[in-house]
Amino acid sequence: MTQRRMTTKADLLAEIERTWNALNAALGRLTEAQMTTIRDPQGWTVKDHLIHLAAWERGSVFFLQGKPRHEGIGVGETLYLTGSDDEINDAIFQQRKDLPLDEALAHFRDVHQQMMAALQPLTDADLKKPYRHYLPNDPGEGDGPPAIKVIYGNSAHHFADHLGWIEALVAG
């Protein structure tokens, strides 16, 4: 899915709400068995997709709080800095694959509430500040993308991507 260009807090919040609601509406139509037994080619269930989404969104909450993103995601710093997305995602999966569905859902919803609370006081100007403003000691070159792009990519855009995969998974 192509990332939409977000330029204002209002646009970001509207897109997060739209994709969050669509994802939750789809989840509301699924049974516990559909969320925990059907697996995609990588071995992930719907529950695993939700755990993954929560991990990356929590990484963005930590980002906004000035804390290392890898801690929010729940992986080691070396893996976060040098591993591929697939390696990071596999580590998230391996750590949390045995989490019961009710705990996974509660965590997924709690992290989203944390994100919305972290966004509440921010202004358009805050969201245009570069990555380096929020995490000045993170290794890397340059200032990085604006905060709005980091947040969008780990919330609304991510929700929409996984909604498609979840729907395809349960459609069989």
What architecture (CATH level 2) is domain 9-171?
Up-down Bundle (1.20)
CB 37 within 8 A of CB 26: no
Q: Where are the domains of the chain?
A: 9-171
Q: Is the pLDDT of residue 1 over 60?
A: no
- Residue 1 CA to chain centroid, in angstroms? 15
CB 49 within 8 A of CB 166: yes
C-alpha 63/C-alpha 61 separation (Å) is 5
pLDDT of residue 80: 94
Q: Using pLDDT thresholds of 50, 70 and 90, give the confidence band for residue 3.
A: low
Condensed to tens digits (0 to 9), the pLDDT of residues 124-142 reads 999 999 999 999 988 876 8
Condensed to tens digits (0 to 9), the pLDDT of residues 75-101 reads 999 999 999 999 999 999 999 999 999
C-alpha 115/C-alpha 144 separation (Å) is 20
Condensed to tens digits (0 to 9), the pLDDT of residues 24-67 reads 999 999 999 999 999 999 999 999 999 999 999 999 999 999 99
